[in-house]
Structure 1
Amino acid sequence: MSNFKIAIIGAGSIGFTKKLFIDILSVPELQNIEVALTDISERNLDMIRSILDRIVEANRFPTRVTATTDRRKAIEGARYVISCVRVGGLEAYADDIRIPLKYGVDQCVGDTICAGGILYGQRNIPVILDFCKDIREVAESGARFLNYANPMAMNTWAAIEYGKVETIGLCHGVQHGGEQIAEVLGAGEGELDFICSGINHQTWFIDVRLNGRKVGKDELVAAFEAHPVFSQQEKLRIDVLKRFGVYSTESNGHLSEYLPWYRKRPDETAKWIDMSDWIHGETGGYLRYSTENRNWFETEFPVFLEQASKPVDPKKRSNEHASHILEALETGRVYRGHFNVRNDGVITNLPADAIIESPGFVDRFGVNMAAGITLPEACAATCISSINVQRMSVHAAVSGDIDLLKLAVLHDPLVGAICTPEEVWQMVDEMVVAQAEWLPQYADAVDAAKDRLGRATVKTRDWAGVARRKVRSVEELRAEKAKKQAAE
């Protein structure tokens, strides 16, 4: 195979970058390449480059690894550009959780829609458009942009509509949901097939087959309710399955934020949450998890570096889409996956301009979506509510229109179930002021927002949420890990 270049933006997301790198190099035809890492953190770049260099050396790969804080240099000549960025880092993310809590909006993740996800999009989209400009100007002609960053639909929407770059949004929610269904049905490898379609993080298993036999709603409900773990961790998802008739891809905590029914009253919220892990509904759970992971990695870096010396086992290649897409495009070996692309009629009862997540096939000709899918009406209605929020959010992020931003937040299903319009207006002002350094498009609106906050009359509360846990120290994490290993 001829060699080519892949640029990874936000490569300082060290664990994820390492996974993508190993996946790609598990394909022999993809080994004679250059992987250009770029990040705003030189320290993180140094760490991830050390790890990847060790992998290359240990496995005698012909791969070349480069690293630079000059993003444009990294993108220059790249055939593929992969984004894993979190603009504003954990500092801005903390405000995505903290400020909405003052207004009663309790989020588990806050990175897709809801108040946190919308503001996350406002930070990311201007930067995504800068990436697209660089891709158009200095990448290889026809370069493809693979976006892993949340909010997935908003980022992909902006890159396609305004960035004018061929973009594929990638997530692993479908894979994880499929693994759960396989487990509860007792399906062996290759025995489960499904069609999963909708929008990112609201994708629906609309057709499930076990050895070719269609699995109905009642059978799936019974299987989940009989499972000793999922019956407790996924109470909200099971309730949606019972009412909608189809299972959702997203975890209990994620799904709870996209619907207006389960997190709007604190006394009701608690019964839908499971605290065995952050992803099942814990208040600010992903923020805590991300903070602990960052601290853990920085402390345990020598261990991670030592582990990088182990041989790469292609059989352990993950089900993340990126390496499989690259393999299909470069070799012609067909890959079936679920991809985030512009709808344009693929799903018949969702808007044409929406970013959908649906089945497709990749080969040398590109991504070929399976068209003509119609969602159950309840699934389509839920998706459309989020699509309307996404559309306004993208247009607000591009135009810097703070009034349109407020309308987007007002129309968010969960925020609208909790807050009055006056509360939404003040909450958005507070979030824009707190995150002003990452929101250049709103620079002209910040002073007026500060003035309004100085005259604010809406009462807020100091509230940690329904189910908040403190961030554990590295020592606590190490002790818990040792205890778990001893038990196993």
Structure 2
Amino acid sequence: MTPPKIALVGAGSTVFAKNLLGDILSFPELAHADIRLFDVDAERLAVTEQVAHRVAQAVGAHPTVTATLDRHRALDGADFVINMIQVGGYRPATVTDFDVPTRHGLRQTIADTLGIGGIMRALRTVPVLLDMSRDMERLCPQTLHLNYVNPMAMNIMGLARQSSIRTVGLCHSVQHTASELAHDLGLRVEEIDFLCAGINHMAFYLKFEHRGEDLYPRLQALAASGQVPATNRVRYEMLRRLGYFVTESSEHFAEYVPYFIKRGRDDLIERFQVPLDEYPRRCEAQIGGWETLRAQLQNPDAPIDVQRSVEYGSLIIHSMVTGQPRVVYGNVMNTGGLIENLPHDCAVEVPCLVDRQGVQPTRIGRIPPQLAALMQTNINVQTLTTEALVTGHREHIYHAAMLDPHAAAELDLDQIWSLVDELLDAHGEFIPAELRRLQAAD
């Protein structure tokens, strides 16, 4: 068996890279893999290279590890490309996505998937992914691109419209939420049987069972009792209203809908424990602890903790290399109507069979109409943002923003237009030239 060539793009995300490498190299069939680490930050890349060797030693693997600042070298002949980049970084890009909207009266929690923050992240991310896909089309046209980068749906849609590279988007919200619900019910997640479908960060468990027992009555009773984890009040409230439980966390979901963050309604923030500005706080904490963490990871005398994560990336690679069939949840285009009552040109999150033939999405059919309708409010924003990126028509950025459920709950149309103008200016060269406010004609 020829060792697979696996490129990690954005490998300076050291902790995430460490987890993925531990997953990959712990499989005996992947223990001699050709690992290519690429990043634009030489210092962070050097740390990840050291960590990669330590992980390999810890699991008894013997991979070839190459660290490079040359993306072409990393991609050349790659069988798999794992993407974990963040265009613009926390500073200045993410800080801008929070600071500017706050000045305009728009409050956010995570701002990386939908809403004003998600739109701006897509505008600066999709062009970079497309540029990378052009390299892949030339250097490794048969590769499978495993995308971990947000905004997931808009990235998948933007690439599908403009690239021939096979791409599947990977997230951990499905498996994480299943574990949370099992914990809430006092059950082992390994004993839970579920079926989930929808769009990324807004997929719902259509079935959630334990040894043949439908667990929804127990979840509904828990929601009605009010004795739910404080950090999950938003999602349990939506269970009460919709009849199904959503995959993404409450701090994410609160800004995908117009019900929980509303101007003049701070009582809602308190009642549902909505963590405003959660993502900046999380990032600042990680930045503050990086030097200590780096020293630990680089210290050859300190033990390195390598445990299998819940990420699907290594499972997909292993199944495609060995032929062992598995089911994972992936984000793919809704080609052929995998979910019948969602648009065919949107990205959906569905169970996928993986074997030597690659990632094969499961056809779900129709989902409950109230779920499809709620998803459509998010798909509207995703579609219009993608249209702006593909056509270069700046007006669709404003259309996406005005149709965003959260922005519309807090701002009027003039405020939304003004906010988009300022954000496009503030992000400058991170935004494609044809979409920049001062360089595009109305």
Name the TM-score class by shorter chain. over 0.9
Residues 374 and 272 of structure 1: CA distance in aligned 2, closer, same or farther (over 3 Å): farther
**Once the two structures are superposed, what CA deviation does each residue of 1:402-432 show, in whole Å capped at 9, x if it has no partner?**
2111111111111112211111111011001
Residue 113 of structure 2 aligns to a residue whose secondary structure is: coil
Q: 5 Å matches for 1:58-457?
A: 58-90=58-90, 91-139=92-140, 141-216=141-216, 218-224=217-223, 230-265=228-263, 266-274=265-273, 281-306=274-299, 310=303, 316-344=307-335, 345-442=337-434, 445-446=437-438
State which drifts further: 368-377 or 257-266: 368-377
Q: Offset of 1:197 from its aligned partner?
A: 0.6
**Residue in 2 that maps onto 1:277:** none
User: In structure 1, what is the Cα distance between the partners aligned to 2:57 and 2:402?
Assistant: 53
Q: Is the 8 A contact 2:147 2:169 kept in 1?
A: yes
User: In structure 2, what is the Cα distance between the partners aligned to 1:385 and 1:308?
Assistant: 52
Structure 2 counterpart of 1:367, which letter?
A: V
Q: Gaps spanning 5+ residues in structure 2: where?
A: none
Aligned residue pairs total 439
**Once the two structures are superposed, what CA deviation does each residue of 1:70-129 show, in whole Å capped at 9, x if it has no partner?**
111111110111110110001210111111112222110000010001000000010010
User: In structure 1, what is the Cα distance between the partners aligned to 2:309 and 2:295?
Assistant: 24
Structure 2 counterpart of 1:270, which letter?
A: I
Residues 163 and 179 of structure 1: CA distance in aligned 2, closer, same or farther (over 3 Å): same
Structure 1 counterpart of 2:221, which letter?
A: A
Q: 5 Å matches for 1:3-42?
A: 3-42=3-42
Q: Offset of 1:64 from its aligned partner?
A: 1.2
RMSD: 2.0
**Once the two structures are superposed, what CA deviation does each residue of 1:222-277 show, in whole Å capped at 9, x if it has no partner?**
2356696x432211111100000001111111000100111123423322443xxx
User: In structure 2, what is the Cα distance between the partners aligned to 1:231 and 1:357?
Assistant: 26
Residue 246 of structure 1 aligns to a residue whose secondary structure is: coil
Confirm whether residue 50 of structure 1 aligns to residue 50 of structure 2. yes
Q: Is the 8 A contact 2:34 2:64 kept in 1?
A: yes
Q: Offset of 1:221 from its aligned partner?
A: 2.3
Q: Offset of 1:153 from its aligned partner?
A: 0.5
Residues 252 and 48 of structure 1: CA distance in aligned 2, closer, same or farther (over 3 Å): same
Q: Offset of 1:376 from its aligned partner?
A: 1.4
Q: Is the 8 A contact 2:26 2:59 kept in 1?
A: no
User: In structure 1, what is the Cα distance between the partners aligned to 2:59 and 2:203?
Assistant: 38
Q: Offset of 1:55 from its aligned partner?
A: 2.3
Residue 37 of structure 1 aligns to a residue whose secondary structure is: strand
Q: Offset of 1:440 from its aligned partner?
A: 2.8
Q: Offset of 1:437 from its aligned partner?
A: 2.0
Residue 299 of structure 2 aligns to a residue whose secondary structure is: helix
User: In structure 1, what is the Cα distance between the partners aligned to 2:301 and 2:199?
Assistant: 36
TM-score, reference length from structure 2 = 0.94
Residues 227 and 363 of structure 1: CA distance in aligned 2, closer, same or farther (over 3 Å): farther
Residues 349 and 272 of structure 1: CA distance in aligned 2, closer, same or farther (over 3 Å): farther
Residues 74 and 227 of structure 1: CA distance in aligned 2, closer, same or farther (over 3 Å): farther
Q: Is the 8 A contact 2:223 2:239 kept in 1?
A: no
State which drifts further: 162-171 or 359-368: 359-368
Residues 398 and 295 of structure 1: CA distance in aligned 2, closer, same or farther (over 3 Å): farther
**Once the two structures are superposed, what CA deviation does each residue of 1:306-333 show, in whole Å capped at 9, x if it has no partner?**
37964776xx311100001111111111
Residues 68 and 208 of structure 1: CA distance in aligned 2, closer, same or farther (over 3 Å): same
User: In structure 1, what is the Cα distance between the partners aligned to 2:368 and 2:201?
Assistant: 16
- The alignment-based identity, stated in percent, is 34
Q: Offset of 1:215 from its aligned partner?
A: 2.4
Q: Gaps spanning 5+ residues in structure 1: where?
A: 275-280, 453-488
Q: Is the 8 A contact 1:132 1:165 kept in 2?
A: yes
Q: Is the 8 A contact 1:26 1:312 kept in 2?
A: no
Residue 105 of structure 2 aligns to a residue whose secondary structure is: coil
Q: Offset of 1:50 from its aligned partner?
A: 1.3
Q: Is the 8 A contact 1:328 1:363 kept in 2?
A: yes
Q: Offset of 1:447 from its aligned partner?
A: 5.1
User: In structure 1, what is the Cα distance between the partners aligned to 2:320 and 2:356?
Assistant: 4
